[in-house]
Amino acid sequence: MRLIDIFVLNKCGSKKQAKKAIKKGLITVNNTIVDEDIEINDETVIYESKILDSHPLKYYIIHKPSGYVCANKDPHDPCLITLLPDENLHYVGRLDRDTTGLVIMTNDLKLRKRLTLPEFHIPRTYAFTCLYPLLDITPFKEGIVIDGDVKCLPAIVEMMSENEGTITLEEGRYHEIKKMFLSLNNKITSLHRIMYGDISLGELPSGSYRTLTKEEINHLKDITGRELCNISKK
């Protein structure tokens, strides 16, 4: 990562202010004053006696409990972000108050934008239970119409029993899964996200979080980069 980006992500100022700080000799890297924007790996960066985080981009997954909302402030319900060590994070794919499971949190705004844009078609998998037996999953393969005239992309449904299964979809429309079931005269009674791309919630306890591995971060960057190439070719 470039020195100027590290300066900005550590909230020391703007890129313009970073350039001025470098020009004035206010930044040292491994105790040496630098006079240009350089690539930083694991070096010690100091600005005005403050040691800067040389790896300021953060990536977490958290197991969202029921009752928490994906917001930074809410007058009625607890916010999921309060369970994390950093409040300068952004949600990747918000979940409803009563929906549980995997949520990605990051301050990498470029990656977050790509992960949430519908044209990138990032698969998300949920475990669900429904009120009435779901005996025919053909409508999901064909694309269910919601809100009267909006046709959803095809979704993959695998049933574990008549009322339980998993659903994988590549869209993020508002209340999409719940509306799909309502269109079939059924109702979701529980919804739990277990995967985002190839990243699995695994055995992470409810309310707990962990940092993403390098492999997981590279996976997210890879699938968004691949989809970006596909979009640009269209």
Cα separation of 23 and 168, whole Å? 52
Cα separation of 209 and 191, whole Å? 19
Handedness of CA 110, 118, 196, 86 (dihedral sign): positive
Provide the strand spans (E) within the chain: 27-29, 32-33, 45-47, 50-52, 59-64, 90-92, 100-106, 124-130, 145-146, 150-151, 156-159, 164-169, 188-196, 199-200, 209-211
Q: Report the candidate in 92, 22, 43, 30 with the shortest Cα–Cα distance to residue 64.
A: 92
Residue type at position 44: T
Catalytic residue among 5, 53, 96, 198: 96
Cα separation of 85 and 90, whole Å? 13
Which of helix, strand or coil describes residue 195?
strand
Contact partners, residue 9, CB within 8 Å, separation at least 6:
53, 56, 57, 107
Is 198 known to be catalytic?
no
The residues assigned a catalytic role are 96
